[in-house]
A and B are shown apart, each in its own frame.
Chain A
Amino acid sequence: DSGVTQTPKHLITATGQRVTLRCSPRSGDLSVYWYQQSLDQGLQFLIQYYNGEERAKGNILERFSAQQFPDLHSELNLSSLELGDSALYFCASSPRTGEGKGYTFGSGTRLTVV
């Protein structure tokens, strides 16, 4: 157990629907990162939150949004889902940001859009 908790582990939903993925960072970590891994693709950075505020954006679609709550857990909202959104979504956390520390990854949420 890495200390980063992601729920649910698996999610199957239909095109056009909206889903919410949840992440609880490791205790004491203030930064949360969301990554997407599609078939034959590497880990694609989506977005970062630090202590409740958006810090950096990567290749995140406009249909996707995220937030980090006062208790530091984060949610990634995916809407108007398309078949191509099927992927493994990882959340990672780190103590702060930009301090040269490694990330701790959760076990991921596998999203299947049918």
Chain B
Amino acid sequence: ILNVEQSPQSLHVQEGDSTNFTCSFPSSNFYALHWYRWETAKSPEALFVMTLNGDEKKKGRISATLNTKEGYSYLYIKGSQPEDSATYLCAPHLGGGADGLTFGKGTHLIIQP
């Protein structure tokens, strides 16, 4: 069973503040790392797919970094807004990418006005 750890499990942040959270995964046989945003009553939506060690991706106020050697990725949100409230899931893709993604349990982010 693939061990994917996301921390913290939940996070309350004031509107306008910046925040970040972590995804840890086995570093061996790495292929790609996915980040998804999952809003309540909706379906998960892909944010980033990262493949290279040291890679950094950005989408508006959200960015992510990747360290494949030590097996972790950080997701950053700058200037949090209420619409950022969601559960953020990471999913490493190992072994050549042949199998389905294994998702972590997510970080539940609540932005307080």
Contacts and interface: CB of A to CB of B under 8 A. Distances in A.
Contacts, number: 69
A97 B96 CA distance: 10
A33 B100 contact: yes
A98 B100 contact: no
A98 B46 contact: no
Contacts of A43: 44, 89, 103
Interface string A95-113: 0011111111111100000
B97 interface: yes
Classify chain A's interface size. 20 to 34
A101 B100 CA distance: 12
Interface of B: 31-32, 34, 36, 42-49, 51, 89, 93, 96-106
11 contacts: A33-B100, A33-B101, A42-B104, A45-B101, A46-B100, A48-B99, A98-B98, A100-B31, A102-B49, A103-B101, A104-B46
Nearest to A4: B43
A87 B31 CA distance: 30
Interface of A: 2, 33, 35, 41-43, 45-48, 55-56, 58, 90, 92, 97-108
Contacts of B51: 100
Nearest to A106: B43
Given A33-B101, A46-B100, A58-B102, 5 more contacts: A35-B100, A45-B101, A58-B99, A103-B34, A105-B44
Contacts of A47: 100
Contact of B98 (A33, A41, A42, A56): A56
A58 B96 CA distance: 16
Given A42-B103, A100-B31, A102-B49, A55 B43 contact: no
Contacts of B96: 98
Nearest to A2: B43
A107 B103 contact: no
Given A42-B106, A55-B98, A56-B100, A98 B31 contact: yes
